[in-house]
Amino acid sequence: MSKSYRLVAFGCRLGRMAYAAAQASIGDSEFDRDTTITERPGEPGVYDAELSAGWTIITAVNGGYLLAMVGRALAAALPHPDPFTVSAHYLTSSEPGPAVIRTEAVRVGRTLSTGQASLYQYDESGAEVERIRVVASYGDLAALPDDVRTTALPPAMPPYEACLGPEAGPAPIPGSNAIVDRLRLRLDPATAGWALGAPSGKGEMRAWFELADGRDADPLSLLLAVDALPPTCFNLGMMGWSPTVELTAHVRRRPAPGPLRISITTRNLAGGFLEEDAEVWDSEDRLVAQSRQLARAPRS
């Protein structure tokens, strides 16, 4: 596959947009409907799900969407509600269609519980094929003290209106680009040169981020957000497919309503792999999530 799904995502965003007219809410939104899980009768901790074609790029399902769905299953299976640290290893590419998530409560503690989950799809014979394996520790974000002793600052980027939306860029690329309609993503112009054929040479990507139907962020949608931007390697002049090997996300705080700012940086692209570090900031200037992934560098 020579074109990155994330390039497609951005490119298509430039061609058409479909903002929902009505403001969706947490629990009643595209994201919530498309990450619905249903526990199997008589099989506690086993959840059927349907991977929506609405979150695909070309032929694959977005990895952050998968992580959010598995995160929802673990929230159902564990006594604590919120993902604190979620480690995912991506095994095979997911496709739209039925899936099953099998969870295990590994350890239940007072303030944290640890669980494991795998998402499977089915081959032609109906056998389960594992797509993603996750180990995660859950807690209660609302129970945390409000102390903040941090040196981190929000990403230096222009205001929302000065960032680049779908009107400013190249034409769509063939293939499924359904996820484009699910997001409102506005790129910092300093990190959008790749879209116009002039990559910055720096391993950075910054954007304002919202769900297209206006649903506010919550801890589960943060698991989507950390893997929703175009990859930093585009700004290093490498425009191909950059599959995630492993991604670990830390959710540090319940996000305030309003758009998020996401900053992604790569310090080390070497030996055919790169790391991508994401920070997600909310409208109250609080660092609500951090993630790091190891990805394969594009072959191009």
* Residues making contact with its own copies (CB under 8 A): 84-85, 87, 89, 91-92, 106-107, 112, 114, 116, 130, 133, 135-137, 141, 144-152, 202-203, 236, 245-246, 248, 250, 252-253, 266-273, 275, 286-287, 290, 292, 294
Q: How far is the CB of 19 from its own copies (least distance, A)?
A: 32
Q: How far is the CB of 183 from its own copies (least distance, A)?
A: 25
Q: Which is nearer to its own copies, 179 or 233 (CB)?
A: 233
Q: Which is nearer to its own copies, 184 or 206 (CB)?
A: 206
- Buried (b) or exposed (e) across 129-149, using 16+ Cβ within 10 A? eebbbbbbbbbebeeeeeeee
Q: Which is nearer to its own copies, 173 or 289 (CB)?
A: 289
Q: Which is nearer to its own copies, 62 or 113 (CB)?
A: 113
Sign of CA dihedral 16, 1, 118, 139: negative
Q: Which is nearer to its own copies, 116 or 283 (CB)?
A: 116
Q: Tell me how far apart the alpha carbons of residues 186 and 208 are, in angstroms, rounded to a whole number.
A: 5
Q: Report which of 11, 68, 53, 63 is spatially closest to residue 243, judged by C-alpha positions.
A: 63
Q: How far is the CB of 60 from its own copies (least distance, A)?
A: 17
Taking residue 94's Cβ as centre, other Cβ atoms within 10 Å add up to: 25
Q: How far is the CB of 156 from its own copies (least distance, A)?
A: 15
Q: How far is the CB of 6 from its own copies (least distance, A)?
A: 19
Q: How far is the CB of 28 from its own copies (least distance, A)?
A: 28
Q: Which is nearer to its own copies, 17 or 91 (CB)?
A: 91
Q: Which is nearer to its own copies, 81 or 170 (CB)?
A: 81
Instruction: Tell me the CB-side half-sphere exposure of residue 129, using CA atoms within 13 A.
Output: 14
Q: Which is nearer to its own copies, 8 or 141 (CB)?
A: 141
Which letter does DSSP use for residue 186 in this model? E
Q: Tell me how far apart the alpha carbons of residues 268 and 203 are, in angstroms, rounded to a whole number.
A: 9
Q: Are 22 and 29 in contact (CB under 8 A)?
A: no
Q: How far is the CB of 271 from its own copies (least distance, A)?
A: 3
Q: How far is the CB of 173 from its own copies (least distance, A)?
A: 24
- The alpha carbon of 142 is separated from its chain's Cα centroid by a whole number of angstroms, namely 22
Q: What is the DSSP string of 42-106?
A: T-TTEEEEEE-GGGEEBTEE-HHHHHHHHHHHHHHHSSS-EEEEEEEEE-S---SEEEEEEEEEE
Instruction: Compute and round to an integer the Cα radius of gyration of the chain.
Output: 18
